[in-house]
Copies of this chain bind each other. A is one copy, B any other.
Amino acid sequence: MDVNLRQIRSFVVVAQAGSFTRAAELLHLAQPTLTVQIRRLEETLEVKLFDRNTRSVELTRVGRELLPVFQRMIRDLDAVVVDTRDIAAKRRGIVRIAALPSVAAGALPEAIKSFRELQPGTSFVLKDVIANRVLDLVRSEEVDLGIMGGSVTGHDVEVLLEVRDRMHVVFPAKHPIGGIRKVTIDDLMKYPLVLMDPATSVRAVVDSAFLTAGHIAQPTCEATYMMTAIAMVRAGLGITILPGSAREIGAEPDLRSRQIDVADFSRAITIIKKSGRTLPPISEAFGDHLAKSIGAQPLFARR
């Protein structure tokens, strides 16, 4: 025979109660049940745990030394069960997310804040990484959720939401382009352009739109970070093109921005998870919350 958790529980309670009868009451069991359980445990461990007669029940020295060990085990196990049920009930948990820097600094903090108001026990691990790293991290399950630019196809990832992030032109307050109602690619070609680095998803979208319109984008300056592009615009080096969700746009009092009315001149933002895998309940919940939160933002257009 093998040890059994119920036997251990019974041992602990009998030891604490100092009586089989009292322990049986505490455990809502019949007294002979305990007699049998303790005997089994003693047989399994091959030692006597109690010196008992009809008048007294006392731990043997071996039993006395075993008691705290078993107490700790029971306590630890119960704690694990409670913790796990907390996770199941979404009262607790760690959500792991990989996101593009622009989203990580843009829509995500708000979504996290509002989610934590509902589920205060939630922790977050947030990795802001470039383009395809997001996909890698989701595939390798280092993160539960990924927020990436571009559409995703592939049977191993599941798309929770795909929205379009419309491109905006950003220019100094008194720039002539501010007078144009419907900005086209042709309009943009007339001015010096500050563009994002070719390695970024924004630049890919810009180049593609320019090509469709029969142009090739010729930047005056290139920047890897949106903040840098903004600074160049502010310095009068030109105008730039950024996704509408970029936080940087509204932060500058001297700059203005306007959506560019060209079909499909937008970046796809996709929330993904690995398909066929069960996420921690809290992560699942946050995925839904995030999709709802981003889907509801006027900055993004649903496909």
The distance in angstroms between the C-alpha atoms of A47 and B85, with both chains bound, is: 7
Q: Mark A85-107, 1 if CB is under 8 A from B, else 0.
A: 10111000000000000000000
Q: Mark A57-70, 1 if CB is under 8 A from B, else 0.
A: 01011100010011
How distant is A63 from chain B, measured CB to nearest CB, in Å?
Answer: 9
A144 within 8 A of B: yes
Q: Which of B73, B87, B141 interacts with A73 by CB under 8 Å?
A: B73
The distance in angstroms between the C-alpha atoms of A144 and B46, with both chains bound, is: 19
Chain B residues with CB below 8 A from A192, complex form: none
Q: Which of B62, B77, B88, B141 interacts with A84 by CB under 8 Å?
A: B62
Chain B residues with CB below 8 A from A87, complex form: 47, 62
Chain B residues with CB below 8 A from A276, complex form: 51, 53
The answer to whether residues A2 and B3 also contact, given A48-B278, A88-B47, A89-B46 and a CB cut-off of 8 A, is no
The distance in angstroms between the C-alpha atoms of A69 and B80, with both chains bound, is: 8
Chain B residues with CB below 8 A from A278, complex form: 48, 51, 60-62
Number of identical protomers: 2
Chain B residues with CB below 8 A from A46, complex form: 84-85, 88-89
How distant is A59 from chain B, measured CB to nearest CB, in Å?
Answer: 10
A44 within 8 A of B: yes
The answer to whether residues A81 and B5 also contact, given A89-B46, A141-B61 and a CB cut-off of 8 A, is no
How distant is A227 from chain B, measured CB to nearest CB, in Å?
Answer: 34
How distant is A156 from chain B, measured CB to nearest CB, in Å?
Answer: 12
How distant is A295 from chain B, measured CB to nearest CB, in Å?
Answer: 25
Interface residues of A in 219-236 (CB under 8 A from B): none
A277 within 8 A of B: yes
In the assembled complex, 30 residue pairs joining A and B whose CB atoms fall closer than 8 Å, in A order, are A2-B5, A3-B5, A4-B5, A5-B5, A45-B84, A45-B85, A45-B88, A46-B84, A46-B85, A46-B88, A46-B89, A47-B85, A47-B88, A47-B281, A48-B278, A51-B276, A51-B278, A53-B276, A60-B279, A60-B280, A61-B141, A61-B144, A61-B278, A62-B87, A66-B80, A66-B84, A69-B80, A73-B73, A73-B77, A73-B80
